[in-house]
Structure 1
Amino acid sequence: MTRAEHIHKGKLAELGCLACLRIHGPHAPGPVELHHYRGGGWGRGDYKTLVPLCPAHHRGPLGIHGLGTKGFDKHYPFTQRDLLDDALRMTA
């Protein structure tokens, strides 16, 4: 892991779940898992495509891996791309 990747991942972890932030507004961040946004392609992008999500929004029944990527984007009033844009803006 490069120094830049380590720093970026640390900043993401401090943000807390970006889905919870959009749903509930500002609150104390909890533990997160870093999800790789795939943007329509297969395979993982680099560290700049990571989105911090709580376990429920990552692996839970109403999370990205529970609903599927298309289902997640339909279920919530925001998309994975919106969350990635938030992450990049907030860590810039």
Structure 2
Amino acid sequence: MASVAEPAAVPLPQRPVRPRQEEEIYPEVGDSVTHFHFGECTVISSDGERIRLRQERDGRVREVSLTMLRIEPPTVDPATSRKHFRLARKN
């Protein structure tokens, strides 16, 4: 009986490493934000999906969905140690 040679096992190519996404940081109560349409605001509440903002110029309260926003990493005001976020349209 003739022996059948098994083909040499070919190693699978390695999967490319995904760039690790940094943990997203969301605005919290008391943080300041610059909303693309509403301007300078202060965060008055957040439930993880929606955020309520008080506009600085007239005190109106606006509620927006976080899924519709691109949240840029915050800067910190050294004088007040308050975080400031820029909120842009998610496109």
When the two structures are superposed, what TM-score results if normalisation uses the length of structure 1? 0.23
Decide which structure has greater strand share: 2
Per chain length, whose mean CA-contact separation is higher, i.e. which structure has more relative contact order (CA < 8 Å, sep 6+)?
A: 1
**CA radius of gyration, larger in:** 2
Decide which structure has greater helix share: 1
When the two structures are superposed, what TM-score results if normalisation uses the length of structure 2? 0.24
